[in-house]
Amino acid sequence: MDGFVPQSVDANAIRLGGERHRNVTLTAKKDCNQEVSMSGRRVWSVGLLAAVVAAAVLTSSVGGQSQSPTPAAQWPKTPWGDPDLQGTWNFGTITPLERPEKFGNREFLTPEEVAQLNKDSSERATAERRKELSAAEDVELAYNQFWWDRGSSTNRTSLIKDPPDGRLPLTPEGRAQRAAQNKRGFDTWADRSLSERCIVYRPVPVRSTGYNNNNVIVQAPGYVAMYQEQIHETRIIALDGRPHLGGKIRPWLGDSRGRWEGNTLVVETTNFNVKNVYEGSTGNRTVVERFAPIDAKTISYDFTVTDPAVYSRPWTGTMPWRKVTDEVFEYACHEGNYSMVHMLGGARVQEKQLAASPSGRVTRKR
């Protein structure tokens, strides 16, 4: 690399120096793919009602549509009596948070549209497709297809189901804040995203990205723990009704308290670090997540975000979490974050070249 840094590439795509890190992702992804491809064929043998099973199979491309949680009495329990949500769950999806304008008022996609979107996603970065691309377009695709594990369409046009237009109800201030939050530069690390800095990859509520969309749930009396593959942090959710932390303690992932409503785990999170920006909001948002088991392979994950300064009303999104049986691997991110060194270092080289260039332009070497 001669100091040139592509301006619009996902920085993770050029975090190639981190060999250990890359291998981890590769291995994990391969296994996840095998699981995802198999999940539709798995026979589910937990002793629930046949009708529930049939419903689950029929709606295996879950979209939060026409699905009701399993009755509380029928759901497996931990020995201490809590609904048992334990296991490894994948929340990957290509459905966007906000509804693209072209869909107007439509909430759901047709089966043909879902199939097409899934096909496009699965072929997005294949070798065949890349042959036709210019070098710049190829760089945009970043990793090859083997790497990606985006998940599939939920069959909704947006994850947001309320408001009904599928869009964030941003106030003017919220809109301005979101634009500012999405601004990137190369002057310092602080100009880069929280994920590129290896501080937060999965905000609360969780966001699906290109790979490693995995979460391991382990329960103990009084607690639910959620281990996020990215970035190897565990959300520990107390269930004992204790009050939230005082306002001066503000973790990046906020402070979570949970309770059971039937089989549904309801988690309220507050006290976010003010720097933990999320879709226009800062540390003042309150997030209520609802984890409702649908069948042995599916949790319906609903999340409601409230922040009156930036949203004109609370809004709610929904996406499925699907159970997988593969192992989750360590996602070491900060330990050798070559991409940060290369991005900042590259920008400094460009500045020097610019200063030395009589034409005021920098020529890219190939």
Q: Does 296 contact other proteins by CB under 8 A?
A: no
Q: Is 362 in the site for other proteins (CB under 8 A)?
A: no
Which 45-104 positions form the footprint of other proteins (CB under 8 A)?
Answer: 78-80, 86
242 forms part of the interface with other proteins (CB under 8 A):
yes
Question: Which tokens is 125 given?
Answer: 């970065």
State the number of binding residues for other proteins (CB under 8 A): 52
Using the minimum distance from each CB to other proteins, give the nearer residue, 97 or 344: 344
For the chain, list the strands marked E by DSSP. Answer: 87-90, 160-162, 214-220, 223-228, 233-238, 255-261, 264-270, 286-295, 298-306, 315-324
Distances from the Cα of 262 to the Cαs of 76, 102, 292, in angstroms?
12, 39, 9
Q: Is the peptide bond prior to 221 cis by the omega test (within 30 degrees of 0)?
A: no
Q: Provide the minimum distance between the beta carbon of 135 and other proteins in the complex, in angstroms, as a whole number.
A: 26
Choose, by CB under 8 A, the member of 48, 97, 139, 245 that binds other proteins: 245
The secondary structure of 96-142, three-state, reads CCCCCHHHCCCCECCHHHHHHHHHHHHHCCCHHHHHCCCHHHHHHHC
Q: Does 173 bind other proteins (CB under 8 A)?
A: no
The yes or no reply on residue 147 touching other proteins (CB under 8 A) is no
Q: Which is nearer to other proteins, 48 or 245 (CB)?
A: 245
Q: Which amino acid is at 348?
A: R
CB of 315 to other proteins, least distance (A): 26
Q: Which of residues 181-240 bind other proteins (CB under 8 A)?
A: 186-190, 197-200, 216, 218-221, 223, 225, 227, 231-234, 236, 238
**Closest-CA residue to 192 (of 183, 202, 180):** 183
CA 28 to CA 326: how far, in whole Å? 8
Footprint of other proteins on this chain (CB under 8 A)?
Answer: 20, 23-24, 27, 78-80, 86, 186-190, 197-200, 216, 218-221, 223, 225, 227, 231-234, 236, 238, 242, 245, 249, 251-253, 327-330, 332, 334-336, 340-341, 344-345, 347-348, 351
